[in-house]
Amino acid sequence: MTELDGLKDELLAQVGAAGDLAGLEEARLAALGKKGRITGFMKDLGALSPEERRERGAALNAVKDAVAEAIERRKAELGRAALDARLQAERVDVTLPVRPEAEGRLHPISQTMDELVAIFAEMGFSVAEGPDVEDDFHNFTALNFPPGHPAREMHDTFYLPDSADGRRMLLRTHTSPVQVRTMLNRKPPIRIIAPGRTYRSDYDMTHTPMFHQVEGLVIDETTHMGHLKGCLIDFCRAFFGIDDLPLRFRPSFFPFTEPSAEVDIGCSRKGGELKLGNYGDWLEILGCGMVHPNVLEACGIDSTRYQGFAFGMGIERIAMLKYGIPDLRTFFEADLRWLKHYGFVPLDVPSVAAGLTR
């Protein structure tokens, strides 16, 4: 027995001394491999008498188990040590500043949408979405455009081919169908904005067939025109970063609001240069109004109990004004030099607290 005890101590010492996984594998082969010490003793068992064989076999198996177990234990230890060493070596200082020259840029439309969302989120709005492909009901009828109403013609609608069930789908001409979907799907109070793509068949210096709008909708029992004004004044001043930016509400017409208004912001055009601020001149930027009772009723909302306001504006337009981008069409030309110039570094996340400008 002392011989096997000696063997066991020797092999365990070898396992314990292995400094890395390669050394441990060497120790394993030296003990349990084909030419290993224990394997060698096992082979000798054949020459023994059955009784001796049983006794020595059992003793050898005990040594084998002890060594195998020690190998597993050492392996786990070495694995942990290797991981620790790697964690030390590959340590990253996450407090280091971001590398200044990020390659990619956020498109000014994405940036402007992020800014809109940040400002309206502060005011308690959440973001709603709807499909780009709409039907006549959501884009027109529920918004109080009766069939044949001339306002439909003004939208230059893209229609899809008639579908099998006879419905004619269209590309939404404004984000207002998201108002309809929101009112049909949830009960007031409602306070949402809906930024997204819109489509009209039009193309020149100031129109592209695809563009972006953001819609706003507030419905509850007491919201009135004063709230609409306050909300848009606060938004425009925060978005353009001009504390005394004047706003002017001009009477207008939309089928889905009554009364309706168009909103102008103060500007100057002196010397052919456009400057926003309190300079006496005016520039139109959005449409708004109190939601028409017909729209509330079409969306299953009791118009004798609920009321509210809606507004809609073009995102390209306010982005161009804020960031001095002169030509609308360049937004969609996918020119990398343009994006490098007008784009935004992705990690500069806009927030009201951190400042919304560059």
SS3 state at 139? helix
Q: What residues have CB less than 8 Å from 175, skipping those under 6 apart? A: 130, 194, 195, 196, 198, 213, 214, 215, 312
Binding part of the chain for ligand PHE, among 41-49, 234-242, 283-291, 298-306 by CB under 6 A, reads 283-291
The answer to the question of residue 292 lying near ligand PHE (CB under 6 A) is: no
Whole-number Å distance between alpha carbons of 239 and 224: 23
Shorter beta-carbon distance to ligand PHE: residue 108 or 216: 216
Which of 152, 120, 115 is closest to 217 using CA atoms?
120
The two tokens of residue 228 are: 């609409």
Count of residues in contact with ligand PHE, rule CB under 6 A: 11
Q: Which span sits near ligand PHE by CB under 6 A: 29-37, 236-244, 306-314, 333-341?
A: 306-314
Beta carbon of residue 232, minimum distance to ligand PHE (angstroms, whole number): 11
Give the pair of three-digit tokens for residue 350.
């806009």
Of 133 and 154, the one with the shorter C-beta distance to ligand PHE is 154
Q: Which residues pair with 4 in a beta bridge?
A: none
- What minimum distance in Å lies between the beta carbon of 225 and ligand PHE? 13
Residue with tokens 């309190």: 278
Task: Kindly identify the residues of this chain, within the stretch 204-223, that bind ligand PHE according to CB under 6 A.
Answer: 215
Which own/partner contact pairs does 228-237 have at CB distance under 8 Å and 24+ positions apart? 228/288, 228/289, 228/290, 228/309, 228/311, 231/123, 231/309, 231/311, 232/263, 232/286, 232/288, 232/311, 234/123, 235/119, 235/120, 235/123, 236/263, 236/265, 236/285
Helix (H) or strand (E) holding 23: helix 21-32
Point out the residue whose Cβ comes nearest to ligand PHE.
312
Residue 294 near residue 321 (C-beta atoms within 8 A): no
State which residue, 23 or 259, has the beta carbon closest to ligand PHE: 259
Query: Using the rule CB under 6 A, which residue among 310, 318, 319, 339 binds ligand PHE?
Result: 310
Sole binder of ligand PHE in the list 111, 176, 223, 307 (CB under 6 A):
176
Q: How far is the CB of 251 from ligand PHE (least distance, A)?
A: 13
Q: Is 289 in the site for ligand PHE (CB under 6 A)?
A: yes
The Cα angle at residue 280 between residues 237 and 311, in degrees rounded to 5: 40
Nearer to ligand PHE (CB atom), residue 157 or residue 176: 176
Q: Assess 139 for contact with ligand PHE (CB under 6 A).
A: no
Closest to ligand PHE by CB, 115 vs 215, is 215
- Options 28, 74, 152, 174; binder of ligand PHE; rule CB under 6 A: 174
Angle of helix 50-89 relative to helix 37-44, nearest 10 degrees, comes to 170
By CB under 6 A, name the one of 288, 299, 320, 356 that touches ligand PHE: 288
The only residue of 112, 182, 223, 257 in contact with ligand PHE, by rule CB under 6 A: 257
Identity of the residue numbered 60: L
Q: Out of 116, 312, 319, 344, which residue is the one contacting ligand PHE (CB under 6 A)? A: 312
| Integer CA distances (angstroms), 171 to 132, 160, 294, in order | 6, 8, 23
The least distance separating ligand PHE from the CB of residue 131, rounded to whole angstroms, comes to 16
Q: What residue ranges bind ligand PHE (CB under 6 A)?
A: 174, 176, 215, 254, 257, 287-289, 310-312
